[in-house]
């Protein structure tokens, strides 16, 4: 779409509330439901026209329920916009790899410590330098965990439980390694414990006293003033990419000829969820989810190791504990009320985070009172947020909220506007020490290439789909 078309697009939006804007079914032939964009007027007006096109394409897919959604951090993606959410009837609807993404279970993990800024500031360079050595980053990086193809199949079946026996979030059930191609195994078996590239990072952060918004929830989750925490963002690497690629090709071959499904964009290739092809992808995608959980578990092991080595204390004495691990790119079976009836839906979240409210049946006891922890990463220059899920998210957005600040420009544009070496020096002057595998990759991730994270978070809170607990500001960063 050309930029000059944007004003006409804006005029067709119906204001539902100050933070919800609807594109009617009449906007595009074939739309089965309206599309709805969550955000303030400013954020929605600034979204690239591709978002309007993609979210309305999603609204044409068979079995879609209520509306196709885009979160406040939304921007153009592959098939679905990044920030896209859509739920399909589990019996009559479809499943689409373009609604999950190539980096299956790209997600974030937040880890707390009992260390304070005073403890860590003198050692920040040593910590970041050592983490940079121990956690491989960048394109094609491989991990220290050496596995055979057979052992890797155990990883993608068991998830984080393969690395350590732990709770419910470490593994998604019914992953089937037999549904994964040999090519996918070859691409992923040596990448456990690696960050990868792009917007993936490992960051040491500080909890400024004035940035604790909800003291009661923060305290319950182990957050205190001037604390040091660690947040990292990564996914299923080449393995997840290959699982998505294999399934897309398969769906393109059968979608129209076998199932008479016509789509407006081949990037939305899909199959009926209950079909053999749909179920094969669902089980292979779960392997991608588990690979990513295991990947983050091994990275956490490295973080514990590094902090223990530098502070000459056990990880237990340093209070190193996981708060939560959230997945961004998934399709999950969940139950919601649609038109007064409870229905089982296959919920696609593409660059969007689950946001279950207090008392939800899937939450473990520690989170029942306050809702599910939601981790939303900003740019490496600005800061990130810990939030809590809400009941309204369950009612309005299929239990979903934003996942980050969202890009405002392409990586190529960012590389033309910033120089990585200068950016690194400027950030260090502001108290953020960064190590990167490539300066061009660092330039791509400049803070100016992203939306204002505070504006995105406030839009999500005003919409009632998540609520702020604390803001976390960067001190040190390992960048892919």
Q: Cα separation of 109 and 325, whole Å?
A: 4
Q: Name the CA radius of gyration of the chain, rounded.
A: 21
Neighbours of 174 (CB within 10 A): 10
Q: What is the DSSP letter of 372?
A: -
Q: Are 326 and 375 in contact (CB under 8 A)?
A: yes
Strand ranges, E, within 80-153: 82-89, 94-95, 107-116
In the residue annotation, 403 being an active-site residue is answered as yes
DSSP 8-state class, residue 377: B
CA distance 34 to 50: 17
Residue reference for tokens 């957005």: 397
Where b means 16+ CB within 10 Å and e means fewer, 47-56 reads bbbebbbbbb
Closest CA to 352 of 302, 404, 306, 314: 404
Choose the catalytic residue: 75, 241, 328, 403: 403
**Cα–Cα distance for residue pair 51/68, rounded to 1 Å:** 11
Measured distance CA(83)–CA(357) in Å, rounded = 20
Taking the chain, what is the end-to-end CA distance rounded to the nearest angstrom? 32
The residues annotated as belonging to the active site are 403
């Amino acid at each position: 779409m050309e930029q000059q078309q944007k004003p006409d697009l804006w005029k067709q939006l119906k204001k539902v509330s100050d933070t919800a804007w609807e594109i009617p079914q009449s906007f595009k032939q074939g739309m089965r439901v309206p599309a709805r964009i969550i955000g303030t007027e400013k954020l929605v007006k600034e979204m690239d026209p591709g978002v309007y096109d993609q979210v309305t394409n999603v609204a044409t897919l068979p079995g879609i329920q209520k509306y196709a959604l885009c979160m406040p951090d939304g921007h153009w993606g592959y098939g679905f916009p990044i920030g896209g959410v859509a739920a399909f009837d589990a019996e009559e609807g479809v499943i689409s790899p373009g609604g999950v993404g190539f980096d299956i279970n790209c997600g974030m993990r937040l880890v707390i410590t009992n260390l304070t800024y005073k403890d860590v500031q003198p050692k920040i360079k040593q910590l970041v330098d050592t983490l940079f050595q121990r956690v491989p980053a960048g394109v094609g990086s491989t991990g220290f965990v050496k596995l055979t193809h057979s052992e890797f199949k155990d990883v993608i079946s068991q998830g984080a439980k393969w690395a350590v026996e732990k709770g419910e979030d470490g593994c998604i059930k019914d992953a089937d390694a037999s549904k994964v191609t040999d090519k996918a195994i070859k691409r992923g078996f040596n990448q456990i414990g690696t960050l990868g590239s792009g917007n993936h990072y490992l960051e040491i952060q500080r909890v400024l006293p004035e940035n604790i918004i909800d003291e009661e929830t923060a305290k319950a989750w182990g957050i205190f003033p001037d604390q040091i925490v660690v947040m990292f963002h990564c996914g299923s690497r080449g393995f997840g990419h290959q699982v998505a690629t294999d399934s897309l090709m398969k769906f393109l071959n059968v979608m129209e000829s076998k199932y008479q499904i016509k789509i407006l964009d081949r990037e939305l290739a899909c199959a009926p969820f209950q079909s053999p092809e749909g179920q094969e992808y669902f089980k292979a995608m779960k392997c991608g989810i588990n690979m990513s959980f295991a990947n983050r578990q091994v990275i956490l092991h490295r973080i514990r190791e590094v902090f223990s080595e530098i502070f000459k204390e056990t990880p237990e004495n340093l209070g190193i504990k996981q708060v939560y691990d959230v997945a961004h790119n998934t399709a999950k079976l969940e139950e919601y009320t649609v038109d007064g009836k409870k229905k089982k839906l296959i919920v696609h979240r593409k660059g969007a985070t689950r946001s279950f409210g207090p008392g939800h049946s899937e939450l473990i006891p520690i989170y029942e009172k306050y809702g599910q922890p939601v981790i939303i990463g900003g740019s490496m220059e600005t800061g990130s947020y810990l939030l809590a899920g809400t009941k309204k998210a369950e009612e309005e957005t299929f239990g979903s909220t934003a996942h980050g600040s969202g890009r405002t420009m392409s990586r190529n544009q960012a590389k033309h506007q910033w120089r990585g070496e200068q950016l690194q020096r400027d950030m260090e002057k502001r108290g953020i020490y960064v190590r990167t595998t490539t300066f061009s990759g660092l330039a791509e991730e400049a803070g100016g290439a992203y939306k204002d994270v505070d504006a995105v978070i406030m839009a999500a809170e005003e919409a009632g789909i998540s609520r702020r607990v604390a803001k976390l500001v960067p001190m040190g960063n390992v960048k892919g």
